[in-house]
Amino acid sequence: MTSTTNKPIVIVTAGGRNPQILINAIHARFGSVTVLLEQPESKKLFLKRRIRKLGLITATGQFVTMVASKFGKRFTEKRAEDILRDYGVSDAVNPDVSVAEIDSVNSQAAIDHIRKTSPAVVFLVSCRMLSASTLAAMPCPVINFHAGINPQYRGLMGGYWARVENDEGNFGTTVHLVDAGVDTGDILYQSRVKPSKSDTMHTYPLLQTAASTDIAIRAIDDALSGTLNPVPAHGNSRQWYHPPIWTWLWNGFSRGIW
């Protein structure tokens, strides 16, 4: 069998602080990294899909929480800086990393780019779900970095919901193979971390990412060496979303979980 150790790594992301931490850590360890940077999905399309799935009232409440969360991040920068320092990670854009802009990972241009690059692994972090046809077209394993413990906290805001569910022992991160479902693929590695009293919904994903770069590197190392060892996810499986604004405020004021 041909060795994949010299093959490149493709990272697909829509960008942001947390993905940049992983890009930097992976590049520092392996060097041969190409980033495909997706255009963010429009808020209109996002809201339409969420309304269709969950109903107008719930979807609107979730959207308000997302807006509040984005606004509130400016007040948690000190905690964010502490997390970056404590875990020795960087969110600075690295000019040495090759970046190609794409409309969507599901576009033909993105698929062609990946197949031309012929990577040993495609690593997803904060990007669109791969369609069935895109996944079938991938020439190598596809793995995903998920800020939550699967299968209990699939979807969004896994750290927040673990706290709400009185399940802080499952506040953590999963790296898993990608299949057709939402974070339902077989698990490669998981890590758990304890949030501080100063952490909130604004910093949970940053903490989960900064504390878990090692499992991303281990999974990629396995893919490069052809030794991936996925195991099925066990336990209660549930997909989560952003909390509606009333749920977020209730848990915040009554339980101190923001």
pLDDT at 89 over 60: yes
SS3 of residue 106 by DSSP: coil
**68-82 pLDDT, tens digit each:** 888 888 889 999 999
Please check whether residue 47 lies inside any domain of the structure. yes
Query: What tokens were used for 128?
Result: 């669109």
Please check whether residue 151 lies inside any domain of the structure. yes
**150-184 pLDDT, tens digit each:** 999 999 999 999 999 999 999 999 999 999 999 99
pLDDT at 2 over 50: no
Tokens 């800086």 correspond to: 81
Domain range for 81 is: 9-255
**Percentage of residues of the chain with pLDDT beyond 90:** 90
Range 87-97 average pLDDT? 97
Please check whether residue 2 lies inside any domain of the structure. no
Please check whether residue 1 lies inside any domain of the structure. no
The DSSP letter of residue 131 is P
Please check whether residue 236 lies inside any domain of the structure. yes
**201-226 pLDDT, tens digit each:** 999 999 999 999 999 999 999 999 99
Count of domains observed in the chain: 1
In angstroms, the CA 85 to CA 88 distance is 5
Please check whether residue 4 lies inside any domain of the structure. no
Range 7-13 average pLDDT? 96
Beta strands at 33-38 and 98-102: parallel, antiparallel or unpaired: parallel
Please check whether residue 3 lies inside any domain of the structure. no
Q: Would you state the torsion angle of the CA atoms of residues 235, 239, 243, 247, taken in this order, to the nearest 10 degrees?
A: -50
**Percentage of residues of the chain with pLDDT beyond 70:** 98
Tokens 């339902």 correspond to: 184
Q: What is the CATH number of the domain that holds 158?
A: 3.40.50.12230
